[in-house]
Amino acid sequence: MESYRTGYSFKKLSVNQSGIALISAILIALFALLALAGLYFALTKLFGSSQTIKTYASIRDAAAGGVHYGIATKVFEMYSKALNGDVIAGACDSIQLKFKLENTSGTFDNDIQVCYGGRGAFKTGFGKERVIGSGSGGGVFAYWLWFTIISEAKGPQDTRSRIEAVYAR
């Protein structure tokens, strides 16, 4: 009976650890794929190549969204150029966006034009309140820069909506 007990020592009854290598390799591959997917997502967002086409309820909403997009992109780009003197008054830049409408099929165009209008000086006696907006322009500049944004959205059956806006900063 003793001879049978020596065959089952603690070393032989311990868990075989060769199966844990497969699980750890799968986990490492999963984390590597997750890191690559995150890197891809970050780069496509950074370069704007994965821009989604927005869906609006009406053509008017699409035109208003075009004005907001023009302010968020081109106005701030042209603003820094205007402060450095790299752009002259009357210079324009165009953007073309695609959009969708709810309950319709297909994509439609929104043409946006952003123009730098020039500098406007603050009038004496009126304080430094901006013409547009509610800010109190207490900055270092004695003038403000203004831009015009024209957004024209074209929808189905040749319907159109045009919004003209002025942005001062």
Per-residue pLDDT of the chain (169 residues; tens, 9 = 90+): 555 555 555 555 555 566 677 888 899 999 999 999 988 888 776 665 556 788 899 999 999 999 999 988 888 888 888 887 888 888 888 999 999 998 888 889 999 999 998 887 655 544 444 444 444 545 444 567 889 999 999 999 889 999 999 888 7
Check: CB of residue 41 under 8 Å from CB of residue 107.
Answer: no
**Residue type at 87?**
V
**CA distance from start to end of the chain:** 96
| Contact predicate 75/96, CB 8 Å | no
Whether the full predicted model's pTM is greater than 0.85, yes or no, is no
